[in-house]
Amino acid sequence: MTPTPAVLSVPARPVSDPCGPGYISSLTVADAGRPRRLVLLGATGSIGVSTLKVAAEHPESYRIVGLAGAVNVTLLAEQAAAFRPPVLAVLTGERAAALARLLPAGYRPDILVGPAGYAAMAAMAEADLVVSAIVGAAGLLPTLAAVAAGKIVALANKESLVLAGDLIRTAAAGSGAVILPVDSEHNALFQALGGAALPDLPLVERLVLTASGGPFRATSRAGLEAVTPAMALNHPNWSMGPKISVDSATLMNKGLEVIEACRLYGLPVAQVDVVVHPQSIVHSLVQLHDGSLLAHLGPPDMRVAIAYCLGYPRRLSLSVPRVDLVKLASLTFEAPREEDFPCLGLARQALGSGASHTVALNAANEVAVDLFLKERLAFMDIPAAIAAALDAHSGETLADADAVMDLDVRVRREVADWARAR
Ligand code: NDP
Ligand code: MG
């Protein structure tokens, strides 16, 4: 398989300017004596809340100019009252009216509505950096809007890259947008490669993504058949939204992250390994051709990765718990149980089959996870639903975001039919 070009300009092979001209030059602009202006998409989610905690630790460095939620207007109103951005966005007109009623007297921001509102907020001229933290395929269009507008994009919404890595790369090349990975593994790779982002960059041999193994790392196959939503939402190390928590339990999260890594770094799937590391302290590693392994270690707290993106190329101080190595005593690694957790292999299969297959994979996963959370599918039906969707998908050319979203809708319908027929 020919390596795909990378979204990030950190290379898989030596080049003279690994970070590309867009990176440092565009980022130094925001350092020129004024706070960096942030738009936060998915403000009311787990990443959104963590992002605001990081910004609140550095009030002199950040100004929040846009906050977007979907339905949780109570939390959005609290966040808006604290940070006073001039623009807010929610999913529907009804939510917008409810939000307006909750805002403090005398504070009257513009309230944008729906996908078009999110895209407008992502592209607003007043923003330097957009944190893309909407969950699922709904994050694609606003992410593309931020990239097309040439923003610094701190990308948590990994589904965007799974759906449309090529479109994002092309848009970034056209606009000069800078994409910084928030996902802890890819952020770790980015940090580890930071030292190697020099003209004499050694060759990268492989990327090693670490996985916690989720709550069912040691659960028998029979036990997996009996997993309930409450069990799947109870992640041992990370506190996250419901969809990614289930993805972590099925190992689909790692599958999506393999695709994300291949598309960010332009490496073929054979050069991206997964290793289970239950302590979640080593967040990923880069293996170089001289046998060196460059790793990033830290507490399992997304504020570390978020802060690296918000501050880049500077580092921010952060009041997260420090890792106590002596108390930890050991860091362990093991191979993933791929036969019992088929989602990882299904993601690799989709990646190898072509761009539209990863759209089908993602849509099938989103529907299956949603039905599992509603107790209408069993835990092990999730990989079955995805396998059925991939089997039924013969591949198609996706010229633009509309084509991607059209395929996404069709596959969702097929998977819902498949689930009803069970
Ligand atoms: P959450 O479920 O906690 O939050 C999701 C956010 O998206 C909420 O703000 C929600 O709004 C909003 N949202 C939901 N549906 C829509 C929609 N249709 N349109 C617009 N906004 C919508 O998710 P997380 O914060 O856990 O994850 C966000 C993204 O970051 C995901 O792509 C995930 O894979 C990625 N990520 C998350 C990590 C984590 O630790 N949580 C780690 C690495 C990546 P509301 O609540 O108002 O309905
Ligand atoms: Mg991750």
Q: Is the CB of 364 within 6 Å of ligand 1?
A: no
Q: Is the CB of 45 within 6 Å of ligand 1?
A: yes
Provide the residue type at 383 as one letter: P
Give the pLDDT confidence of 262-308 residue by residue, as tens digits.
Answer: 998 888 899 999 999 999 999 999 998 889 999 999 999 999 999 99
The stretch 167-193 carries a mean pLDDT of 92
Q: Whose CA is nearest to atom 40 of ligand 1?
A: 240
The stretch 187-204 carries a mean pLDDT of 66
**CA–centroid distance, residue 283 to ligand 2 (Å):** 8
Provide the residue type at 242 as one letter: P
Percent of the chain's residues with pLDDT above 70: 90
Domain locations in the chain as residue ranges: 7-182, 201-299+327-420
The stretch 247-271 carries a mean pLDDT of 94
The answer to whether residue 44 scores a pLDDT higher than 90 is yes
The stretch 181-210 carries a mean pLDDT of 78
Ligand located closest to 156 CA: 1
Q: Is the CB of 69 within 6 Å of ligand 1?
A: yes
Give the pTM.
Answer: 0.94
The answer to whether residue 373 scores a pLDDT higher than 60 is yes
Q: Which of 201, 197, 192, 205 is nearest to 288 (CA)?
A: 205
For residues 185 and 31, is the Cβ–Cβ distance under 8 A? no
pLDDT, mean over the chain: 91
**CA–centroid distance, residue 24 to ligand 2 (Å):** 25
Q: Is the CB of 66 within 6 Å of ligand 1?
A: no
The stretch 95-112 carries a mean pLDDT of 98
Q: Is the CB of 80 within 6 Å of ligand 1?
A: no
Counting every residue written for the chain, the total comes to: 422
The answer to whether residue 3 scores a pLDDT higher than 70 is no
Give the pLDDT confidence of 306-351 residue by residue, as tens digits.
Answer: 999 999 888 999 999 999 999 999 999 999 999 999 999 999 999 9
Q: What are phi and psi of 320, to 5 degrees?
A: -80, 160
Find the range with the poorest average confidence among 26-35, 84-93, 235-244, 381-390.
26-35
Ligand located closest to 76 CA: 1
Confidence of residue 204 (pLDDT cuts 50, 70, 90): confident
**Radius of gyration of the chain measured on its C-alpha atoms:** 21
Give the list of residues 6+ apart from residue 52 with CB closer than 8 angstroms, or none.
Answer: 40, 43, 64, 79, 82, 83
Among 79, 240, 247, say which to mutate for ligand 1: greatest number of ligand atoms within 8 Å of CB.
240
Cα gap 341→383, rounded to integer Å: 8
Q: Which atom of ligand 1 is nearest to the CA of 242?
A: 2
**CA–centroid distance, residue 102 to ligand 2 (Å):** 34
Q: Is the CB of 42 within 6 Å of ligand 1?
A: yes
The answer to whether residue 180 scores a pLDDT higher than 80 is yes
| DSSP 3-state of 284 | strand
Q: Which atom of ligand 1 is nearest to the CA of 49?
A: 25
What CATH number should be reported for the domain whose range is 7-182?
3.40.50.720
Cα gap 28→301, rounded to integer Å: 27
**CA–centroid distance, residue 183 to ligand 2 (Å):** 5
The answer to whether residue 21 scores a pLDDT higher than 60 is no
pLDDT at 317: 95
Residue 48: how many other CB atoms lie within 10 Å: 26
Ligand located closest to 258 CA: 2
Q: Which atom of ligand 1 is nearest to the CA of 245?
A: 26
The answer to whether residue 4 scores a pLDDT higher than 90 is no
Q: Which atom of ligand 1 is nearest to the CA of 159?
A: 32
pLDDT at 31: 57
Q: What is the assigned CATH class of domain 201-299+327-420?
A: mainly alpha
Q: Whose CA is nearest to atom 7 of ligand 1?
A: 134
Q: Whose CA is nearest to atom 16 of ligand 1?
A: 70
Ligand located closest to 162 CA: 1
Taking each continuous run of H as one helix and of E as one strand, the counts in the chain are 18, 11
Q: Is the CB of 35 within 6 Å of ligand 1?
A: no
Residue 393: how many other CB atoms lie within 10 Å: 22
Give the pLDDT confidence of 106-159 residue by residue, as tens digits.
Answer: 999 999 999 999 999 999 999 999 999 999 999 999 999 999 999 999 999 999
The answer to whether residue 199 scores a pLDDT higher than 60 is no
The answer to whether residue 27 scores a pLDDT higher than 70 is no
Give the list of residues 6+ apart from residue 397 with CB closer than 8 angstroms, or none.
Answer: 356, 403
Ligand located closest to 45 CA: 1
The stretch 3-19 carries a mean pLDDT of 44
pLDDT at 265: 83
**CA–centroid distance, residue 183 to ligand 1 (Å):** 12
Cα gap 254→249, rounded to integer Å: 10
Residue 1: how many other CB atoms lie within 10 Å: 9
pLDDT at 193: 83
The stretch 78-96 carries a mean pLDDT of 98
**346 vs 34: which has the higher pLDDT:** 346
Provide the residue type at 371 as one letter: L
